[in-house]
Structure 1
Amino acid sequence: MGLIEDMKRFLESQIDDFLIKNPHLELQVIGEQLAQQETDTMQLIVDLKAQEKLTEQEILNTAQEIKNWYDRVQRATAAGRTDLATPAQERVNALLPQGNQLWGKMKGLKERITQAQELLATIKTRRVEVKAKAATAQAQANRDRVAAQSSTSSWGSANNYTSSRDLADPLEAQFRRWEEDEELENLKRNLGK
């Protein structure tokens, strides 16, 4: 387990170093995370609204049931049937708390929908900000790359004779590939330790 943990820490530090050297990529990752959060939040809003509709229907059904039982209480009482009126009133009394619970649930769902919509607006704003920063960082990285290439090409023109001779020499090219492959293999072996 120690080797795996060491390898994991090494890779994480390499990724962190890479992202520090390439801030536009880090911003791109953050942008992708925000896009996923935006999608998740939109799905949450859809789910909450579906629950709200179901709860509305349950409230309407419960209200209708209360009304029906209340009408029965009235009819039984008017007919002098206390044997029916009393249990019907008990049914109404049992349904009223159920209606109150559903009403509370509806209120909670409405609050959660409002909070999710506010969160969605915040995520969208943040995403626009990150996108702008990423574009600025990318532009800066491009300017830095062009500047580095300009300095390299001016240095390279001084050594133009050597470079063109090395490129034209197939044996030189083969040796360079072989040396690069050896370096890559050494790196792989060192990472495997």
Structure 2
Amino acid sequence: MSSWSWWDELEQKLEQQLEAFLKSHPEQSERLRQEQLNEAAQLRRQLLELAAEIKQWQERTQKAQAAGAQDLAQRAQQHLEQLMQQGRELWQQLEAIGQDLHQPAPRSEDLDSAWARFETEQALEELRRRQGL
């Protein structure tokens, strides 16, 4: 499990560095967003092309089965399954991009600021209690 902890720490540190970089360079943040949108559009095109190819291989599989060419039908079915797996992988990639685009960037600085304000208010409240205010 220790191998995962160092990996998680590395991933977290890299995420924080990326966030810091993007906050200090807003134009790069927009560029990254645009690249994600472009990648999503490309994945959608690939999925549409793949869907047409899957439909074609479904028809070929059915045609081979109807003609009694079981060996050919089996090979076509295997190819069809590979195409469908490829489609699932593309869909997962597209879904991940969609989540990234719709997920607000974590606000670690805002959280730190809020926490500091909370601690300051707590300390002030403690002083007031001690002073009888």
TM-score, length-scaled by structure 1:
0.41
Alignment of 1:1-193 (within 5 A): 37-115=25-103, 118-119=104-105
- Output one character per residue of 1:89-118: Cα deviation in whole Å (capped at 9) or x when no partner: 110111111111111000001111123xx3
Q: CA deviation at 1:59?
A: 1.1
Q: CA deviation at 1:36?
A: 5.1
Q: Are the structure 2 counterparts of residues 100 and 70 from structure 1 closer, same or farther at C-alpha, using a change threshold of 3 Å? A: same
Q: Are the structure 2 counterparts of residues 97 and 40 from structure 1 closer, same or farther at C-alpha, using a change threshold of 3 Å? A: same
Aligned residue type for 1:111: Q
Whether the 8 Å contact between 2:47 and 2:87 is mirrored in structure 1 is yes
- Structure 2: tracts of 5 or more residues without a match: 1-20, 111-133
Whether the 8 Å contact between 2:23 and 2:29 is mirrored in structure 1 is no
- Output one character per residue of 1:50-99: Cα deviation in whole Å (capped at 9) or x when no partner: 00001111111121111111100011111111132111011011111111
CA distance in 2, matches of 1:69, 1:56: 20
Higher radius of gyration, 1 or 2: 1
- Output one character per residue of 1:12-39: Cα deviation in whole Å (capped at 9) or x when no partner: xxxxxxxxxxxxxxxxxxxxx9885321
CA distance in 2, matches of 1:110, 1:47: 12
Q: Are the structure 2 counterparts of residues 57 and 114 from structure 1 closer, same or farther at C-alpha, using a change threshold of 3 Å? A: same
Residue of structure 1 equivalent to 2:12: none
Whether the 8 Å contact between 2:36 and 2:97 is mirrored in structure 1 is yes
Give me the CA root mean square deviation.
2.2
Which portions of structure 1, spanning 4 or more consecutive aligned residues, are displaced by more than 4 angstroms? Answer: 33-36
